Amino acid sequence: MRKQFKKFLPDHRTLIANRWLAPFGSSLLHPRLWHLNRRSAAGAVAAGIFCGLIPAPFQMLSAAICAVIFRVNLPLAILTTLYTNPLTIVPLYIVAFALGQMALGEFGSGKAFILPPDYGTAGLWAWIGALIDWMIGLGTPLALGLVLLGALLAVAGYIAVRFFWRIYLLRAWRRRGHSTCRRPA
């Protein structure tokens, strides 16, 4: 899988030669941001999952910032944010709202969840404004629930990547061990 993913990554020398990335110098061109191993992949998935719950235009930017800060794989962190899309965002926000209400106890129980606004004929900017008003109307339970849900999903993603990568390595070692231990007849 790592070899397949590496086909799509740019070469490190190509990044260094890019004039648009030159102002960012060592921070964006750090080798650990582009190296793919068990730790960097798990951290990138955790960062991408956490940042995926941030409202739309800031997901990938925040995932990139987290990848630079924590020195995890940058492309994978950005790619992982795509788990939130128009089909999954509403169920995730409903779960986040419920989680926030549960965490707040009686303080958050006064508000009921209302469905997000439809995209209507008013246009994109009107819909984004209505979406922001909808999120503000849900208030504290949604904000707290998004942080809690993001943290829970990030921890689960981190553990899952580490676990499945370990299983893959053990199987590869076993296959390699069986193929080299055979004696010719």
Sequential DSSP letters for 70-86: HT--HHHHHHHGGG--T
Predicted pLDDT of residue 96: 92
C-alpha to C-alpha distance for 46 and 5, rounded to whole angstroms: 18
Handedness of CA 164, 167, 169, 171 (dihedral sign): negative
Q: pLDDT-derived band of residue 157, with 50, 70 and 90 as boundaries?
A: very high
Sequential DSSP letters for the chain: -HHHHHTTSPPHHHHHH-TTTGGGHHHHS-GGGT---HHHHHHHHHHHHHHHTS-GGGHHHHHHHHHHHHT--HHHHHHHGGG--TTTHHHHHHHHHHHHHHHHGGGSTT----PPPP--SS-HHHHHHHHHHHHHHHHHHHHHHHHHHHHHHHHHHHHHHHHHHHHHHHHHHHHHHHHHHPPP-
> Which residue has better confidence, 95 or 131?
95
Say yes or no to pLDDT of 112 above 80: no
Compute how many other C-beta atoms are within 10 angstroms of the C-beta atom of residue 58. Answer: 12
Predicted pLDDT of residue 23: 63
Tokens (6 digits) for 80: 């992982």
pTM for the predicted model, two decimal places: 0.72
Q: pLDDT-derived band of residue 182, with 50, 70 and 90 as boundaries?
A: low
Q: Which of 8-17, 125-134, 149-158 has the highest mean pLDDT?
A: 149-158
The answer to whether the beta carbons of residues 111 and 139 sit under 8 Å apart is yes
> Which residue has better confidence, 41 or 131?
41
Q: pLDDT-derived band of residue 146, with 50, 70 and 90 as boundaries?
A: very high
What percent of the chain clears pLDDT 70, i.e. is strictly above it?
76
C-alpha to C-alpha distance for 31 and 23, rounded to whole angstroms: 16
Predicted pLDDT of residue 33: 81
Which amino acid, residue 172? A
Predicted pLDDT of residue 3: 65
Predicted pLDDT of residue 35: 81
Nearest to 81 by CA among 55, 119, 115: 55
pLDDT tens by residue, 121-130: 777 788 888 8
